[in-house]
Amino acid sequence: MPGAYPSAGRWTERYPLAKLGFAADLVAALAGIAIATLVRLTIDDQLPPGFPFLTYFPVVLLVAFTLGLRAGVFAALFGGLASWYWFLTPGSNFSLTHNSAIALTFYAFITGTEIALVHWMQRSNRLLVIEREANARLAQTRELLFRELQHRVSNNLQMVAALLTVQRRQIADESARSALDEAARRLQTIGRISRQLYDPAGGDQALGSFLDQLARDVIESSTTMTIKHEVISTSDARIGPEAAIPLALIVAESIANAIEHGFAPGQDDARLEIRLGQGLQRQRLAVEIEDNGVGLPDGFALDQSGSLGLRIATMLAGQIGGHYSLTPGTDRGAIARLELPLLAA
């Protein structure tokens, strides 16, 4: 099953297996060297002269790796004594000759290097584990703080929008009431979408799924009409945090404009089609919002429109290096088109 076995890195982080204590390390080292000696005595007749340490090097390495520094030192010491007694000097004794002294020095250097490397590796692994656990805790704390910040910002925006709605009730002038309604709606829109614009790691979001959720939120909050919508994406572009708010507001304003001015009252086949694809030029991204409403009035010109929402959309498009247009639809209705530099391939 996937994940049933830890990776090689995880296995190495488990060693040494446990702190067994002085006596246990001593017994384990003696047992390992005893086995190594028996194996060496068994194959002695099959080996050419020499090789007194052949079976001891791997045992020292294995003991140091599995049981730690102290057990490795014990194994190296007992292995040196055993090889000195049985294989370095004739007659099985501890007599020291020039040749045996050189051989024992060589043995001490090799086993010391083995133990030091194993100890350094395991110490580095322990430090990496500690650092990784600390980073995981920091990442978790960062995510919690980030979500709390996003939650508070969104709540504050919603509260300001509610205050504007309350203030609207005290104003008799219809144009002022309408302006407050628009301001409250935009603040509510920003508050809703701010929860989904960013992830705690600062990464990008898939634009198609983002636009689908955005359209759903704007439709649900702007009208009681039944409006079907569909997102058609031919691009795998992703949206970066720096362009998220402007792009979201432009799309939200376009959808809200279609709901307010594009559809006839009681229209039962109201539909929005949001298309995401490549712009007219390479390295450009195009977002189109087409409705099947009543269409644009005769002689409509975007630069002469008195709609605050359309002026905001045009201004925001310029801020992110894009271009915004509103043209008649292919059959009826209208097409709001935003073209901007490609955010990500």
Condensed to tens digits (0 to 9), the pLDDT of residues 4-60 reads 434 444 655 666 766 678 888 899 999 999 999 999 989 888 887 778 898 999 999
More confident residue, 205 or 207: 207
pLDDT at 68: 87
pLDDT at 295: 87
Strands 323-328 and 284-291: unpaired
Percent of the chain with pLDDT over 90: 19
pLDDT band at 291 (very low <50, low <70, confident <90, very high): very high
**Identity of the amino acid at 182:** E
The predicted-structure confidence for 96-138, as pLDDT tens digits, reads as follows 888 889 999 999 999 999 999 988 988 888 888 888 888 888 8
Burial 48-58 (b: 16+ CB within 10 A, else e): eeeebbbbbbe
In whole angstroms, give the CA distance from residue 75 to residue 59.
Answer: 8
Average pLDDT over residues 330-340: 87
Average pLDDT over residues 242-261: 84
Q: Contact at 8 Å (CB) between 290 and 334?
A: yes
User: At what angle are helices 98-168 and 174-197 packed, to 10 degrees?
Assistant: 160
Average pLDDT over residues 60-77: 90
Q: Contact at 8 Å (CB) between 249 and 324?
A: no
Q: Any idea which architecture 206-344 has in CATH? A: 2-Layer Sandwich (3.30)
The 10 Å Cβ neighbour count of residue 109 is: 10
pLDDT at 329: 85
Average pLDDT over residues 316-329: 88
Domain(s) of CATH 3.30.565.10: residues in the chain: 206-344
Percent of the chain with pLDDT over 70: 85
More confident residue, 310 or 203: 310
Residue 16: asked if its preceding bond is cis (omega within 30°), the reply is yes
pLDDT higher than 90, residue 87: no
Q: Which residues contact 276 (CB under 8 A, 6 or more apart)?
A: 207, 208, 211, 231, 232, 233, 234, 235, 237, 285, 286, 287, 288
pLDDT band at 304 (very low <50, low <70, confident <90, very high): confident
Q: Contact at 8 Å (CB) between 239 and 205?
A: yes
The predicted-structure confidence for 163-180, as pLDDT tens digits, reads as follows 777 777 778 777 787 778
pLDDT band at 195 (very low <50, low <70, confident <90, very high): low
In whole angstroms, give the CA distance from residue 328 to residue 253.
Answer: 17
pLDDT band at 290 (very low <50, low <70, confident <90, very high): very high
In whole angstroms, give the CA distance from residue 180 to residue 28.
Answer: 81
pLDDT higher than 90, residue 154: no
